Amino acid sequence: MTIPTEQQLAQYIRHAYAAPADEVPARVHRYTRLIQQFSKTFGIPPHAIVRAPGRVNVIGEHTDYNGYPVFPMAIDRDVVMAISPSSGETVEVVNSDSRYERRLFPARFPLGAYPQGDWGNYIKAAINGILEAEIVDRQRALGFHAVVGGTIPESAGLSSSSALVVASALAFLTSNGTTVETQTLAELLAHAERYVGSEGGGMDQAVSLLAEPRKGLKIDFFPLRAQSVDLPMELEFVVCNSLVRAPKTESAQHAYNRRVVECRLAAALLSRALSDRRGKVQHTTLLADLSPEKLKMDEREVNAIAEQAIGEEPLSLAEISRRLQEPVDTVRARCLALKSGGFLPEPRDGFLVWKRYRHVVTEARRVEAAVQALQEGNIQSFGELMNRSHASCRDDFGISCPELDALVSIARRNGALGARLTGAGFGGCTVNAVPTDRVDEFIRRVSEEYYEGYIVQTRGRGFLQIEELGETIFRSRASNRASILTLH
Ligand code: NG1
């Protein structure tokens, strides 16, 4: 085993990031530092480098766990691990960011979790999921040593968590000399990440494992299918961080899970109403099972039945159980159960089932229309669909906040054809489709109006330095999928 030459690293980096030549040296430097830190920490050179990208979701928010499509792209911000297999069961991971302490545990099933919010839980989620699926022998699994370095802003809706899960899974699999077909792995890891307590869908793991450079990825679920779509040369996607943190370990996790539950309730109420009318409609908690295409019904007819079955008013659990003609405990077990154990508590303001339903079904249509608009080169209509997606996320799904709304209106005033929140919401980032020739001016103006204007006035933050702006507002180049570079 030898340390890779700069040429080997540069070659890997050009492939992994589809990076222009002038960006390669800085990335080679990052990888070299990680390799040096590994050798210094563990006294041996690493066996391999594993890389998993974060993503920005262009359109299709909170549709994935309902079985409806999404359209994200992988970004060039990622998690990179230098790794080497252990001789036994030990997993030992050191983070190059010293805020995250070293994690050490045996790769033995089942893995008990660290306290909620601990970064080590994402590593455990991957390993536990692979052992649970018995892809690696539960008794003989080898652990690994790793130094990990990440460049994805956290709690920002850019999937830093899933990138860590994907990188950890690849590290564990390669350390045990095995591979899993990527589509299967993506589905397995979507399930595995629920170990941390969010009832998440499968978008993030899938795009990290299946993306192609310079393309967006239309993903369908159950079963997982991915289609790469060319992104137009005349548009760039600029990511702006609202600076409102939305960590999925705190209230944002509860708010996320609440929406998952409200969507299940919508499906339960609609399937009940459909079977009362038509007989033979399966009872389901997955909205995509009730798409007009699957039901072979007219869309307006399905929506009219849904409106009647659900109604615009917030619903209590007691009212839902009455409408479903099922005891409260049965409804709770079927719709409110969380993977982490326990049940979602009933919200004091009731379940907002109709609004959630309306967002999901209209957003699913917008994804299809947006992909078609791109394929037809109609960037105006594509941008308009992004704008409508934001309005629906804000008004029906309730996942925006004043800062995200301010940021999208500033972006639209300054040249974005489409601007919307991206990811789970409740803070985090926006994604903006900006004509390529206006990007520099867009970044300058949004920096002035939002980061030096709005945020300073509303939150009293100091001016950001130019270096910080790079992390806060950046072009997202569609990068390549996760990969492993073996070093020998
Ligand atoms: P982020 O933004 O990374 O927290 C979450 C879910 C996705 C999807 C989006 C909303 C996880 C790991 N990811 O993403 O599956 O539902 O929210 O579209 O829970």
Give the distance (Å) from ligand 1 centre to CA of residue 263.
15
Give the distance (Å) from ligand 1 centre to CA of residue 28.
30
Instruction: Please answer whether residues 102 and 94 qualify as being in contact, where contact means their C-beta atoms are separated by less than 8 angstroms.
Output: yes
Pick the CATH number of 250-355 from 1.10.260.40, 1.10.10.10, 3.30.70.1050, 1.20.1440.340: 1.20.1440.340
Q: Report pLDDT digits (tens) over 127-186.
A: 999 999 999 999 999 999 999 999 998 888 899 999 999 999 999 999 999 999 999 999
Report the nearest-CA residue for atom 19 of ligand 1.
200
Q: What is the pLDDT of residue 461?
A: 66
Ligand 1, residue 63: give the atom nearest the CA: 18
Average pLDDT value for residue range 333-355: 94
- Rounded Cα distance between 157 and 248, Å, is 9
Report the nearest-CA residue for atom 17 of ligand 1.
424
pLDDT category of residue 464 using cuts at 50, 70 and 90: low
Q: Which residues pair with 421 in a beta bridge?
A: 430
Ligand 1, residue 202: give the atom nearest the CA: 15
Instruction: Give the mutation target among 203, 244, 430 for probing the ligand 1 site: most ligand atoms within 8 A of CB.
Output: 203
Residue with tokens 């911000």: 77
Q: Report pLDDT digits (tens) over 271-315.
A: 999 999 887 778 899 999 999 999 999 999 999 999 999 999 999
Residue range 6-230+479-486 in CATH 3.30.950.10: no
Instruction: Please answer whether residues 39 and 147 qualify as being in contact, where contact means their C-beta atoms are separated by less than 8 angstroms.
Output: no
Cα 48 off chain centre by: 26
Write out the catalytic residue numbers: 204
Ligand 1, residue 198: give the atom nearest the CA: 19
> Rounded to a whole number, what is the distance in angstroms from the first to the last CA of the chain?
5
Q: Which residues pair with 51 in a beta bridge?
A: 80, 483
Ligand 1, residue 64: give the atom nearest the CA: 16
Exposed/middle/buried for 329, CB within 10 Å: 0-12, 13-18, 19+?
exposed
Give the distance (Å) from ligand 1 centre to CA of residue 312.
26
Domain ranges of the chain: 6-230+479-486, 250-355
Fill in the DSSP letter of residue 194: G
The three-state (H, E, C) secondary structure of 207-276, written as one string: HHHHCCCCEEEEEECCCCEEEEEECCCCEEEEEEECCCCCCCCCHHHHHHHHHHHHHHHHHHHHHHHHHH
Q: What is the pLDDT of residue 277?
A: 87
Q: How far is CA 64 from CA 178, 200, 337, in A?
A: 29, 8, 18
Give the distance (Å) from ligand 1 centre to CA of residue 38.
31
Q: Report pLDDT digits (tens) over 198-250.
A: 888 999 999 999 999 999 999 999 999 999 999 999 999 999 999 998 776 66
Give the distance (Å) from ligand 1 centre to CA of residue 199.
9
Instruction: Give the mutation target among 248, 249, 339, 366 for probing the ligand 1 site: most ligand atoms within 8 A of CB.
Output: 248
Q: What percent of the chain clears pLDDT 70, i.e. is strictly above it?
A: 97
Q: Give me the helices (H) in 133-159, please.
A: none
Q: Report pLDDT digits (tens) over 261-281.
A: 999 999 999 999 999 988 777
Examine residue 223 and say whether the peptide bond preceding it is cis (omega within 30 degrees of 0).
Answer: yes
Residue with tokens 């609202």: 242
Q: What are phi and psi of 222, to 5 degrees?
A: 50, 70
pTM: 0.96
Report the nearest-CA residue for atom 12 of ligand 1.
200
- Rounded Cα distance between 417 and 387, Å, is 8
Q: What is the pLDDT of residue 455?
A: 87
pLDDT category of residue 466 using cuts at 50, 70 and 90: low
The ligand 1 site (C-beta within 6 Å) comprises: 57, 61-62, 64-65, 157, 159, 161-162, 193, 198, 200-201, 203-204, 248, 423-424
Ligand 1, residue 65: give the atom nearest the CA: 16
Nearest to 266 by CA among 352, 334, 345, 347: 352
Instruction: Give the mutation target among 162, 245, 258, 397 for probing the ligand 1 site: most ligand atoms within 8 A of CB.
Output: 162
Q: What is the pLDDT of residue 278?
A: 81
Q: Residue 147: in which H helix or E strand, if any?
A: strand 144-150
